[in-house]
Chains A and B, each alone.
Chain A
């Protein structure tokens, strides 16, 4: 699946997007964040406080327990500040 990062999540990880292939036991948004956190210092810094991370699965807001099974695109970003 494709992972997308925005705002300071993007800056801390150092990437705007990448292809990821989490193992099958990574089934939910929360588990995907835990799995990504272990990929390196930038990821650990980006996801240090999961309460500040918002997630969209296939361009729709998703909570921590949402399944990621069939997702093509998962995006990670801080709380939104538009408007």
Chain B
């Protein structure tokens, strides 16, 4: 039985490096068989977006992501877990969020990563506001009912 790992949870303005995070998670380990990473990017579909402003609730963002991380550790026998969520101004093409799961087998690593993203979207206190390329004041991004449905299916 693998001892339960301590998740690494970070909420930061700075960018992150997937290769570095993978190396940190697997350093000195010979027992990890599967590493799944999800990176969420800022997306612009119509050339209209200058950037997203990500507002967050300091303190609660870290606490809520940690709660979700420990829920994932209850459900799947993970060997390592890293979650990074950025805040502040993020431009199209830049990274917003990282979920990295390590497990003996891929099924657990995939399932846990998907669960974590579904729950982060509906529970982590972050809000996106659009900054338009033409300088017009942008709108707050609305919560999607598909995200609620995605989180609901894990109940």
Contacts and interface: CB of A to CB of B under 8 A. Distances in A.
A83 B97 contact: yes
A34 B22 CA distance: 48
* Size bracket of the B interface: 20 to 34
Given A61-B123, A77-B57, A80-B123, 9 more contacts: A8-B140, A59-B59, A59-B64, A81-B121, A82-B120, A82-B126, A83-B40, A83-B96, A83-B126
Contacts of A56: 57, 60, 125
A31 to B, nearest CB: 22
Given A59-B60, A61-B64, A75-B60, A80 B124 contact: yes
Contacts of A8: 140
A4 B122 CA distance: 19
A83 B120 CA distance: 6
A48 to B, nearest CB: 15
B129 A82 contact: no
8 contacts: A7-B127, A61-B64, A75-B125, A80-B121, A82-B96, A82-B121, A83-B97, A83-B147
Interface of B: 40, 54-57, 59-60, 63-64, 85, 96-97, 117, 120-129, 140-143, 147
Given A7-B140, A61-B64, A61-B123, A82 B128 contact: yes
Chain A: number of interface residues, binned into ranges: 10 to 19
Nearest to A9: B127
Contacts of B54: 82
In the A-B complex, list the 9 residue pairs whose CB atoms are closest, starting with the nearest: A82-B126, A79-B143, A7-B127, A83-B121, A59-B60, A81-B141, A82-B124, A83-B120, A81-B128
Nearest to B128: A81
A64 interface: no
Contacts of A60: 60, 63-64
Interface in A49-80: 56, 59-61, 75, 77-80
